[in-house]
Structure 1
Amino acid sequence: MVQGNREIDAAHLVNTTWGEHLARLDQDPRATHEPVGHLKEFDLLKHFPALRDDLDPSALFPRGSVVSHQAWIGPAHARTGLHHDLLDNVALTLRGRKRFYLLPPGSVEAAQLVSRKFDRWARLSVLGVDALAQRLEAQGLAAPQVVDLGPGDALYVPRGWWHEVVNLEASVLLSGFFGSRRRTWGLWLQTGALQLAHNAGLWRRGHCTCHSRATGPG
């Protein structure tokens, strides 16, 4: 489980149990004064294959695509910082409401605000969407687009589109990252080599979204 905004702040990963995390979903982190815990990139369909009897998102993807399903499960106010993914994505909300802030490709690059922090499958911004929106407004540029999703709503986010996502209430979202076989396997090899170098301490050591000193349950 991730606490806080690992895209901007230092990654803080916390060990927990499935039951403990679910028990916190309907708690307001502001009332408990605890850091917001967000279960990210969780393979929901692998761990609970019976869900496939009621949930078949295959029709959302082009035929022949390589698809990786990952779930984001968190309470109200859980947040994923501003970033863009290297693969196309269809985000399907299963429970709760989420808000997407969207900026077109090149927005963060033009402002020279792309982070050097390592993430295998995404590129990150050094600023959150609120701070970036203020800069864009000062320069007379377009504000981020805002899309709210409720249960059963799906949003296609093309690769390269910058987005930041916040839970308006406790939410479960299933993302399907997809691409052609050629593109997906090419990225898998390229990013895998960087991940190996990073794990060995040769590439952006200590500056990533994937490592922290994990703590115990709770």
Structure 2
Amino acid sequence: MIPDIDPGLLAPVDEHQGTHIIDSGARVPCVMRGAALQWPATQRWTFDYLATRGGDRPVKLVLGNRELGETGFVLSTFRACVGSLASNGPIWGEGASTAHLKEFDLLHEFPALRTDVDTQALLPPRSHVSSSAWIGPRGAHTGLHYDLLDNLAVLLRGAKRFYLARPGVVESQGALSSKYDRWARLADIGIQGLAARKLPEASLFVADLHPGDAIYVPKGWWHEVVNLESSIFLGGFFGSVPSVVGLWLLTGTRQLIHDATPFPGRRCTCHAAS
């Protein structure tokens, strides 16, 4: 479901036309229209094309909005879930149970696909990048969250909408969630609920992405994302090597402790709700 928000509350995200190296020092989101329009991936990565390459490799789909709601998963195969997107196959579910193949390391699983993309061309020099794919049907939805690393994401198929809120807006409303996620901080409210509150002017932003468009979301910027159409989306979290390694060690330690201390009612995005 697309959030129902007064358009007057949503400022457009800044845009650039064509390929543009991210100015990560500016610390504001921007959309690069058509930055990946000529990538081989944008030209050839249909759902059927990827499905034939993925075969029956097992995958775990995320059910619904795990950032705001309960965490749930369903097992499938890459071919079954991705190949059925073109026809909106039943494997994906509907409404609140809409499934999503999230944070899937597509380029690691299928190295031959790496020649079809060129995310490094859009990033600041000497950046370390970790890429993951988000593949899902119309209506697939994330909760409101911010990432601990800067993010460059490219839409290769379909259409997506990004709702964004300035750093500190959720915190000022006392709406931080205690739910655990290794690489992000979560809100206990959705963007629609946040928009209904009294906020400073120009707190909320929106951007619609189409194939070949890229978006830069700096760490700390809150965002909620919904698929307007079935989509293939490649995101790259990046930073300098020292900052990425340091964060990996810090969050890795927290994750080890988290995994080793299960308890009834644990709330996290990595384990299914009991």
TM-score by length of 2: 0.72
Structure 2 residue identity aligned to 1:50:
A
Counterparts of 1:33 and 1:53 in 2: how far apart (Å)? Answer: 34
Match of 1:67 in 2: 129
Q: How does 1:95-134 map to 2 (within 5 A)?
A: 95-134=157-196
Structure 1 residue identity aligned to 2:247:
L
Task: Pick closer, same or farther for the CA change 1:204–1:187 going to 2, 3 Å.
Answer: farther
Residues 32-41 or 172-181, more deviating: 32-41
**Pair 1:167 & 2:227 matched:** yes
Task: Pick closer, same or farther for the CA change 1:102–1:52 going to 2, 3 Å.
Answer: same
Once the two structures are aligned, what percentage of the paired residues are identical? 53
Match of 2:37 in 1: none
Structure 2 residue identity aligned to 1:107:
V
Please tell me the root mean square deviation across aligned C-alpha atoms, in Å. 2.2
Aligned 8 A contact 2:132 2:234 in 1: yes
Match of 1:10 in 2: 70
Task: Pick closer, same or farther for the CA change 1:201–1:146 going to 2, 3 Å.
Answer: same
Unaligned runs of 5+ in 1: none
Deviations 1:7-48 (A, max 9, x none): 01111011111122114323187x964721100000111122
Residues 193-202 or 106-115, more deviating: 193-202
Task: Pick closer, same or farther for the CA change 1:205–1:181 going to 2, 3 Å.
Answer: farther
Aligned 8 A contact 2:93 2:99 in 1: no
Give aligned pairs, total: 211
Match of 2:237 in 1: 177
Q: How far has the Cα of 1:94 moved from its partner? A: 0.6
Task: Pick closer, same or farther for the CA change 1:32–1:200 going to 2, 3 Å.
Answer: closer
Task: Pick closer, same or farther for the CA change 1:64–1:145 going to 2, 3 Å.
Answer: same
Task: Pick closer, same or farther for the CA change 1:202–1:61 going to 2, 3 Å.
Answer: same
Q: How far has the Cα of 1:204 moved from its partner? A: 9.8
Counterparts of 2:250 and 2:264 in 1: how far apart (Å)? Answer: 16
**Pair 1:212 & 2:264 matched:** no
Q: How far has the Cα of 1:140 moved from its partner? A: 5.9
Which of 155, 158, 162 is the equivalent residue of 2:218?
158
Instruction: Name the SS for the 1:135 alignment partner.
Output: coil
Q: How far has the Cα of 1:53 moved from its partner? A: 2.1
Counterparts of 2:254 and 2:263 in 1: how far apart (Å)? Answer: 7
Counterparts of 1:188 and 1:50 in 2: how far apart (Å)? Answer: 26
TM-score by length of 1: 0.90
Deviations 1:70-114 (A, max 9, x none): 000000000111000000000100100000001110010111111
Aligned 8 A contact 2:164 2:204 in 1: yes
Counterparts of 1:188 and 1:116 in 2: how far apart (Å)? Answer: 21
Instruction: Name the SS for the 1:99 alignment partner.
Output: strand
Task: Pick closer, same or farther for the CA change 1:112–1:28 going to 2, 3 Å.
Answer: farther
Unaligned runs of 5+ in 2: 1-60
